[in-house]
Amino acid sequence: MAPSIPNVQKAAVIPAVGAAIEVRDNHPVKQPKDLAPGECLVKMECTGVCHTDLHAKKGDWPIPPMSPLIGGHEGVGEVVAIGASTTNQNIKIGDRVGIKWLADSCLDCEMCRKGYEQNCSKAKLSGYTVDGTFSQYVVSYVNHVTPIPKSLGSTDAASILCAGVTVYGAIKRSNTHIGDWIIIPGAGGGLGHLAVQYANAMGLRVVAIDTGEEKKKLVLKLGAEKWIDFKESKDIVKDILAATGGEGGHAAIVTAASTSGYAQAVDYLRPTGTIVCVGLPNDALGANIFWVVFKSIRIVGSYVGNRQDAIEALDIAAAGKVKVQFEMRKLADLKSVYEGLEEGKIAGRMVLDMRT
Ligand SMILES: [Zn+2]
Ligand SMILES: [Zn+2]
């Protein structure tokens, strides 16, 4: 029997760009008969909160978000309805699936065919150009929802869908091989602590950069081989060279939303090293071109991941090699979570329980 679908639900709505969020309990639920072919309705169990959600709320990126908007793009829930005449046979009612930043893409253009689904010109973005996961029922797309492995709990899976996929995709594009040194600034943060674990699982040697005893303990426990406290270090570049046997890292995953990390990376990478740009400061790169050329440095942008990246990232987590450090909150707490993000007070990830 098909599960009964209520007409209204709890949802965190941003009524206008830059406005405060409103947690409403009378937001309409799109009914199964109204779903278009290819759409599915997912009853959310939980959803992570990402720094991107803050940009969606403020509208401070070069690409404008839709308005009004429901944010969120790290959600896990159960498929409770699928649009009539949907041709995809892989997803069925009752499946536990994840909703990621890339909600949908055409699967038929050059970028999609090459596996760059996130660069499809028809891409739909959860919690940005289509409503996201901060509501109890979410309309998503059967071709792009990600099946969640049975052995992985929903709350453990949530932040893999954005933070995990993002850093996993970045390491895949870092041109590194087993035994190479990878430099991870911000290693104790939401993205960083996952990057340390994926890098470790992929056989890379990790130099973790962050500050404070708590983060040091965390990243060393998660598999970092070397630790540099940027507040205690008198010369970060010198310390990284020393940590990597004098030659510098083979790659750096720069997740900070500021430009300073990029210029420095040119100095601490060995020749032919790769800088993977993940953080999104709306600014020029600032790296010295002379040294980029002279050292044959590669600079690559890495923007989330495709469907396959999401499946791989979840499988590695399901195998117990990556564990998200998170705290649980309720949807009603989202406003204070946003405030915490804005003030930089939130360590690790926040996951909202959507069932209460
Ligand atoms: Zn995100
Ligand atoms: Zn496409």
Q: In this structure, are 95 and 50 located in the same domain?
A: yes
Least confident of 39-53, 88-102, 249-263: 249-263
Ligand closest to the CA atom of residue 194: 1
Residue 125 sits at the vertex; the CA angle it makes with 120 and 131, to the nearest 5 degrees, is 150
> What CA–CA distance (Å, rounded) separates 22 from 351?
18
Amino acid letter at 317?
A
Q: In this structure, are 13 and 127 located in the same domain?
A: yes
Cβ-Cβ contacts under 8 Å for 238 (sequence gap 6 or more) = none
Measured in Å, residue 221 CA sits from the centre of ligand 1 at 25
pLDDT of residue 71: 97
**Quick one: pLDDT band at residue 259, thresholds 50, 70, 90?**
confident
Helix 192-201 to helix 213-221 angle, to the nearest 10 degrees? 30
Ligand closest to the CA atom of residue 161: 1
Q: In this structure, are 183 and 133 located in the same domain?
A: no
> What CA–CA distance (Å, rounded) separates 235 from 255?
20
Measured in Å, residue 122 CA sits from the centre of ligand 2 at 6
Ligand closest to the CA atom of residue 47: 1
Number of DSSP helices (H) and strands (E) in the chain, helices first: 11, 18
Alpha helices in 62-212, H assignment, sequence order: 110-113, 154-158, 163-172, 192-201
pLDDT of residue 151: 97
Report yes or no: 219 and 210 within 8 Å, Cβ to Cβ: yes
Ligand closest to the CA atom of residue 109: 2
CB atoms within 5 A of ion ligand 1 belong to: 50, 52, 162
pLDDT in tens, 324-350: 999 999 999 999 999 988 887 777 799
DSSP H or E segment with residue 336:
helix 334-342
pLDDT of residue 1: 52
Measured in Å, residue 44 CA sits from the centre of ligand 1 at 17
> What CA–CA distance (Å, rounded) separates 102 from 162?
9
Higher-confidence position of 184 and 356: 184
Q: In this structure, are 27 and 158 located in the same domain?
A: yes
Strand 137-141 versus strand 75-82 pairing type: unpaired
Q: In this structure, are 151 and 20 located in the same domain?
A: yes
How many domains does one find in the chain? 2
Q: In this structure, are 274 and 327 located in the same domain?
A: no
Distances from the Cα of 212 to the Cα of 150, 233, 243, angstroms:
36, 12, 19
Ligand closest to the CA atom of residue 71: 1
Strand 205-210 versus strand 124-125 pairing type: unpaired
- For 302, other C-beta atoms within 10 Å of its C-beta total 20
Measured in Å, residue 162 CA sits from the centre of ligand 1 at 5
Measured in Å, residue 233 CA sits from the centre of ligand 1 at 30
- Six token digits for residue 348: 């690790």
**Quick one: pLDDT band at residue 3, thresholds 50, 70, 90?**
low
Measured in Å, residue 95 CA sits from the centre of ligand 1 at 23
Ligand closest to the CA atom of residue 165: 1
pLDDT of residue 262: 86
pTM of the model: 0.95
pLDDT of residue 280: 84
User: Does the pLDDT value for residue 86 go beyond 70?
Assistant: yes
- Six token digits for residue 185: 């600034």
Range of the domain at 38: 8-162+305-353
User: Does the pLDDT value for residue 230 go beyond 90?
Assistant: yes
Q: In this structure, are 216 and 283 located in the same domain?
A: yes
Within-domain flag for 2: no
Q: In this structure, are 250 and 127 located in the same domain?
A: no
**Quick one: pLDDT band at residue 2, thresholds 50, 70, 90?**
low
Ligand closest to the CA atom of residue 162: 1
Q: In this structure, are 22 and 78 located in the same domain?
A: yes
pLDDT of residue 257: 76
pLDDT in tens, 10-35: 999 999 998 999 999 999 999 999 99
Domain end call among 301, 322, 344: 301
Domain end call among 282, 301, 320: 301
> What CA–CA distance (Å, rounded) separates 193 from 188?
5
User: Does the pLDDT value for residue 160 go beyond 80?
Assistant: yes
Report yes or no: 141 and 39 within 8 Å, Cβ to Cβ: yes
**Quick one: pLDDT band at residue 258, thresholds 50, 70, 90?**
confident
Ligand closest to the CA atom of residue 143: 2
**Percentage of the chain with pLDDT > 70?**
99
**Quick one: pLDDT band at residue 261, thresholds 50, 70, 90?**
confident
CA neighbor of 257 nearest in space, from 206, 190, 193, 160: 190
Mean pLDDT for the stretch of residues 74-103: 96
Helix 334-342 to helix 51-58 angle, to the nearest 10 degrees? 90
Measured in Å, residue 210 CA sits from the centre of ligand 2 at 38
Within-domain flag for 3: no
pLDDT of residue 346: 78
Measured in Å, residue 102 CA sits from the centre of ligand 2 at 11
Q: In this structure, are 173 and 292 located in the same domain?
A: yes
Q: In this structure, are 47 and 154 located in the same domain?
A: yes
Report yes or no: 195 and 255 within 8 Å, Cβ to Cβ: yes
- For 82, other C-beta atoms within 10 Å of its C-beta total 20
CATH code for the domain of 195: 3.40.50.720
User: What percent of the chain is helix, strand and coil (3-state, nearest 5)?
Assistant: 30, 30, 45
Within-domain flag for 282: yes
Within-domain flag for 27: yes
Q: In this structure, are 95 and 136 located in the same domain?
A: yes
Looking at beta carbons, which pairs linking 208-216 to residues 24 or more positions away fall under 8 Å? Answer: 208/184, 209/183, 209/184, 209/185, 209/236, 209/240, 210/185, 210/186, 212/188, 214/188, 215/187, 215/188, 215/347, 216/188
Buried/exposed 307-326: b ≥16 CB within 10 Å, e otherwise: bebbbbbbebbbeeebebeb
User: Does the pLDDT value for residue 126 go beyond 70?
Assistant: yes
Ligand closest to the CA atom of residue 107: 2
CB atoms within 5 A of ion ligand 2 belong to: 105-106, 109, 112, 120
- For 342, other C-beta atoms within 10 Å of its C-beta total 13
Within-domain flag for 50: yes
User: Does the pLDDT value for residue 85 go beyond 90?
Assistant: yes
pLDDT in tens, 162-177: 999 999 999 999 999 9
> What CA–CA distance (Å, rounded) separates 108 from 126?
20
